[in-house]
Amino acid sequence: MEFGKQLAQTVTPIPGLVVFDLPVHGDSRGWFKENWQREKMVAAGLPDFGPVQNNVSFNDAAGTTRGIHAEPWDKWVSVATGRIFGAWVDLREGPTFGAVYTTELDPSRAIYVPRGVGNSYQTLEPDTAYTYLVNDHWSPNASYSFLNLADETAGITWPIPLDQVEISEKDKNHPRLAGVTPIPRKKTLVIGANGQLGTALRTEYGNVPWVEYTTRNTLDLTAPGLGSARRWRDYDTIINAAAYTAVDTAETPTGRTAAWAANVTGLTSLAGIATTYGITLVHVSSDYVFDGTKPGPYTETDPLSPLGVYGQTKAAGDAIAATVPRHYIIRTSWVIGDGNNFVRTMAGLAERGINPNVVNDQVGRLTFTTDIARGIHHLLDTSAEHGTYNLTGHGEPHTWYDIARDVYNITGHDPDRVTGVTTHEYFSAATTPIAPRPRNSVLSAVKVENAGFHAQEYLVAVRGYLTRR
């Protein structure tokens, strides 16, 4: 064992499997090391995997060999005393299935083993003990995968031949690699899958087996028992596409209650689950978190200042989602997707010979749900830095009046049939509560563009939508 190493990581050919050198301090009395120090180790590159249980394996004799087991949790393995030879085999589905890595560990080296990577240890000295931290509680019902220690495909060269060591009968009879069912990746859960954004996410991700779609009928965020509604450890991402979006109805007593329940109370429960299980939470927000008085585009760091109930619930939701260590808050504006929306309505009015009055003192950018879905997929796939991202359509800002004229023009109708009016004039005859609208809904998309995502150009997106509708 080497004293005085610097804390450092060594990557391996198996994705996520990382060896760490640990500083060990020793003298004539013995030695001391920090076996697990979250702040330092996360800074050195160890995932913040949230261990909940610590186990110790003691082995009497050199040559004791444990089978290749892939458990449904992540592990931090280190040696307390003695020395071991370790062999790790990737048993996860994907291009590295079957990849092998071997090395020796002593008290000055440790290894992080991600879920689904099979691990086995052979002691090289008597009275060897190794410890491992895991981020899920052991359960007799947990689903494991196993590989035979002598598998010819893996071709592990054991320091002490397997016919000369202590091995359990069970470990001797595990399947060869050809008989191992690859461990599926952790799942992504899309909540609100029947809404406009949920429909776009279904199209974006398709029927891949690792994406699960839920509606309020199958998962109600406001219902008791949400924490036990799923085996949450099996998920690595939750995309929350569910929301209460009836901005005017939210100004009524019943609407206010419903808006807070969906946009705040339910999200609070979801954020707690994501934090507990280390899940990435994707939460979709709105330009309504701002009051619209800023003269230029709003950035992700501008202070929140919502005008109405809907905006207040979305601002509260942003604050809650931001407490989740792994979060993406996707702030968007003027959303257009399948179903009833402004573009579809204007096209229908044009075809029916109606000449509408349209608001001309609110400025923003249309955002198509297809772009939001693509942007979410991009941020997740590229492991972009967690945080808040403005994600809107690309191009110059427009008023609703400008957009209506463009729709009339694209569909072959005279845009001069559209008349511009102020927000006050438009709602002057309303007999029910009307939510205040931000006059400036322009969001700066510089941050998401720097992360490599670019939305469609405004007119290209509108033309494409009108062609498909």
pLDDT recorded at residue 430: 87
Q: d(Cα 397, Cα 434) in Å, to the nearest integer?
A: 24
pLDDT recorded at residue 47: 87
In the set 130, 132, 244, 310, the catalytic residue is 132
| Average of per-residue pLDDT across 53-57 | 93
| Average of per-residue pLDDT across 101-130 | 95
Does the structure show a pLDDT above 80 at 28?
Answer: no
Q: With cut-offs at 50, 70 and 90, classify the pLDDT of residue 30.
A: confident
Q: φ and ψ at 46, to 5 degrees? A: -75, 135
Fold match flag (8-179 vs 187-468): no
Nearest in space to 210 (alpha carbons), one of 240, 179, 241, 239: 239
Q: d(Cα 215, Cα 192) in Å, to the nearest integer?
A: 5
Q: Quote the distance between the C-alpha of residue 36 and its chain's center.
A: 26
Tens of pLDDT along 331-344? Answer: 999 999 988 899 99
Does the structure show a pLDDT above 70 at 1?
Answer: no
Q: Quote the distance between the C-alpha of residue 449 and its chain's center.
A: 19
DSSP state of 227: G
DSSP state of 93: S
DSSP 327-383: EEEEEE-SEE-SSS-HHHHHHHHHHTT---EEE-S-EE--EEHHHHHHHHHHHHHTT
Query: What residue segments make up the domains of the chain, in order of their start?
Result: 8-179, 187-468
Q: With cut-offs at 50, 70 and 90, classify the pLDDT of residue 466.
A: very high
In the set 69, 377, 378, 386, the catalytic residue is 69
Give the class (CATH, top level) of 8-179. mainly beta
Q: How far is CA 155 from CA 66, 122, 166, 306, in A?
A: 16, 15, 19, 62
| Average of per-residue pLDDT across 167-172 | 91
Q: d(Cα 336, Cα 331) in Å, to the nearest integer?
A: 14
Tens of pLDDT along 386-410? Answer: 999 999 999 999 999 999 999 999 9
Q: CB neighbours of 453 closer than 8 A, spacing ≥ 6?
A: 374, 375, 378, 379, 391
Assess contact for 465 and 342: CB atoms under 8 A: no
Q: d(Cα 398, Cα 409) in Å, to the nearest integer?
A: 15
Tens of pLDDT along 407-423? Answer: 999 999 999 999 999 99
- Give the alpha-carbon dihedral of 384, 390, 394, 397, to 10 degrees: -170
pTM, whole model, 2 decimals?
A: 0.86
Mean of the per-residue pLDDT values for the chain? 93
257-285: burial string, b at 16+ Cβ within 10 Å, e else:
ebbbebbbbbbebbbebbbebbbbbbbbb
**Strand ranges for 24-138 from DSSP E:** 24-27, 30-33, 53-59, 68-70, 75-81, 84-90, 100-105, 109-113, 117-123, 128-134
pLDDT recorded at residue 74: 93
**Strand ranges for 172-218 from DSSP E:** 187-191, 211-214
Q: How far is CA 335 from CA 104, 310, 340, 411, in A?
A: 55, 15, 11, 20
Specify whether 174 is catalytic.
no
Assess contact for 324 and 412: CB atoms under 8 A: no
pLDDT recorded at residue 437: 96
Assess contact for 390 and 447: CB atoms under 8 A: yes
State the fold for domain 187-468. Answer: Rossmann fold (3.40.50)
Specify whether 310 is catalytic.
no
CB atoms inside a 10 Å sphere around CB 179:
11
Q: d(Cα 25, Cα 6) in Å, to the nearest integer?
A: 11
| Average of per-residue pLDDT across 100-105 | 96
